[in-house]
Amino acid sequence: MKLGEKLMKMGTLFQSPIAVLAAAFVALPFLPTAIAGNHSTEAHVESIKGAAHYSTDTKVWLPLKVHSTLKSGTLVKTGQESTVRLVFKEDGSAVTANPDTVVRIARMSSAETGLEVVSETDLDLIEGSLNGTQTKNSVLSHFKINLQGGFALLEQSDYWACSETADKKVGSFG
């Protein structure tokens, strides 16, 4: 349902001019986001050490190359002595997939609010470990790593996340 349709259903609430002005004042900060809408973003492969592959369907794995761009839904797999460094274009955050890691870029989106860019990034850590740097973003932005049995929302920090069944944790340092 569109914003206008929702407001029409609430018509009886808006019979008073004061109620209309109050509602407009409350809704004003969110209007640019509603107009601009969300758009998909990309992750940039900054560096690769060793062998790494990617897949969009879990059936076909292709060699990953430096300067590639990855979209939501893409899986990245590193080899035994390999690492991949991904940079998320919208917010400048970076993550390194360490050796023997499988990570899915579950979601990347951003919206221009007129005042700032609100970005949302969700990664599914399936195997292995990640470390990286989460930059300072808007209050409404989030960077989330999903683990088996939980998740971590990261704010401005350096971090390390491990998917090992016996040792599921996310640490922050730096």
pTM of the model: 0.69
Give phi and psi for 98, each to the nearest 5.
-80, 175
Burial letters 87-115, b for 16+ CB under 10 A, else e = bbebbebbbbbbeebbbbbbbbbbbebee
Q: Which two tokens stand for residue 81?
A: 């002595």
Give, for 22, the enclosing helix (H) or strand (E). helix 17-27
pLDDT at 34: 44
Higher-pLDDT residue of 156 and 63 is: 63
Residues 72-97, mean pLDDT to the nearest whole number: 91
Alpha carbon 100 to chain centroid distance?
Answer: 22
Question: pLDDT confidence of 60, banded at 50, 70, 90?
Answer: very high
**Mean pLDDT: which of 16-30, 49-63, 123-137 is highest?**
49-63
pLDDT of 39 higher than 60: no
What is the H or E stretch that residue 169 is in? Answer: strand 169-173
pLDDT of residue 63: 98
Share of the chain above pLDDT 70, in %: 61
The structure tokens listed for 167 are 């040792």
pLDDT > 90? residue 92: no
